[in-house]
Amino acid sequence: MAFTAPQTSEDTPIEIQELIQAFDTLPQEHRETLAPSLLRVVECSSRRRRILNLVQEALAQLRLDMKYLVFDLEATRRERDTLRDQIEGTNNGDHE
């Protein structure tokens, strides 16, 4: 049974691409032995890349959400201060 190296993409790290090229130069009996391990390495690398991309996207969304929350908090504080000033102004007017 002939084993071929797993397919790579542009996201595949250069070290793994080099490993696959070295794998392709091995005699058939060694490739048969190492093919499952190489496949697991490529799959793990691809999975880690996807997870990293998901984490980066989640962090970017979290940063954006935090900016909105800070904006909302500042607006709420301004509204509170404005209402407090109006109430204090009304109360001061009643005592005169």
The answer to whether 45 touches 13, Cβ cutoff 8 Å, is yes
Percentage, residues of the chain above pLDDT 90: 79
Does residue 96 have a pLDDT over 70? no
Residue 21 forms part of a structural domain? no
- Residue 42's CB is within 10 A of a number of other CB atoms, namely 21
Residue 55 pLDDT grade (very low, low, confident, very high; cuts 50, 70, 90): very high
The parent domain of residue 52 ranges over 30-90
Q: What is the pLDDT of residues 4-37, one digit of tens each?
A: 666 677 788 999 999 999 999 999 999 999 999 9
Residue 95 lies in a domain: no
Q: How many domains does the chain have?
A: 1
Q: Is residue 57 part of a domain?
A: yes
Decide if 53 contacts 41 (C-beta within 8 A): no
**92: pLDDT confidence band, cut at 50, 70 and 90?**
confident
Q: Looking at the domain assignment, is residue 69 inside a domain?
A: yes
